[in-house]
């Protein structure tokens, strides 16, 4: 890598590995360092990813090369990038959480975001639950939920799938998926 980076973001996109700077707003131009494994070289290019690395977010690339991100600025929106025009647009939002014995839907935070084949996954996370009885305080509830949707079907239709195993629940620091077979290969 030409210049080492800390607290950066990496993603695989169109056969290359992009390492995005975390210096959003601190320098006049933000750079992306790109590794091309077919020729084993790095290059530096202007940042083409118009989202802030200063916010809490995750990025996933689907089989068809479409990039999805969760933008969590008070509402958890799922956005995708138009590969032709480079513009980002909203495809839906992360669903609220309904807890048993609680009167309203709650907004999750600190969840994981991953893609596998043609689906997006939201894993774990936490919610703040208002305890109306007694002193009236918030409890932090750790979630073991796994929710999945197909981002091409609009509006997004989320469904719950098998929960996270064992004691695994709560905050997710990072998610990734790996498949042995390329999405473009067919059998």
Residue 40 is part of which domain span?
A: 1-54
In a domain, 123, yes or no: no
pTM for this entry: 0.73
In a domain, 15, yes or no: yes
In a domain, 21, yes or no: yes
Number of domains in the chain: 1
Q: Please give the pLDDT value at position 162.
A: 85
> Encoding tokens for residue 40?
């084993």
Give which of 61, 48, 62, 18 is closest to 36, Cα–Cα. 18
Q: Please give the pLDDT value at position 176.
A: 66
Q: How far is CA 142 from each of CA 90, 99, 115, 120, 163, rounded to the nearest angstrom?
A: 27, 11, 22, 21, 12
In a domain, 138, yes or no: no
Percent of the chain with pLDDT over 70: 73
In a domain, 171, yes or no: no
Mean pLDDT of 156-184: 73
In a domain, 9, yes or no: yes
Cα(161)–Cα(164) distance, integer angstroms? 9
In a domain, 17, yes or no: yes
In a domain, 146, yes or no: no
Buried b or exposed e, range 65-82, using 16+ CB within 10 angstroms: ebbbbbbbeeebbbbbbe
Q: Is the pLDDT of residue 166 over 90?
A: no
Q: Which residues pair with 173 in a beta bridge?
A: none
């Amino acid at each position: 890598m030409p210049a080492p980076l800390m607290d950066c973001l990496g993603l695989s996109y169109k056969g290359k590995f992009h390492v995005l700077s975390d210096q959003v707003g601190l320098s006049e131009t933000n750079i992306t360092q790109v590794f091309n494994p077919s020729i084993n070289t790095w290059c530096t290019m202007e940042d083409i990813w118009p989202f802030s690395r200063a916010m809490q977010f995750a990025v996933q690339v689907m089989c068809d090369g479409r990039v999805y991100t969760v933008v969590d600025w008070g509402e958890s929106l799922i956005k995708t990038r138009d590969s032709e025009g480079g513009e980002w647009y909203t495809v839906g939002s992360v669903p609220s959480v309904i807890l048993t014995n609680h009167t309203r839907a709650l907004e999750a935070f600190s969840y994981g975001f991953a893609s596998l084949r043609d689906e997006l996954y939201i894993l774990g996370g936490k919610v703040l639950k208002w305890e109306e009885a007694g002193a009236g305080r918030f409890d932090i509830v750790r979630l073991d939920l796994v929710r999945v949707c197909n981002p091409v079907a609009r509006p997004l239709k989320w469904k719950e799938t098998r929960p996270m195993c064992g004691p695994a629940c709560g905050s997710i620091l990072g998610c990734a998926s790996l498949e042995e077979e390329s999405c473009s290969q067919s059998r």
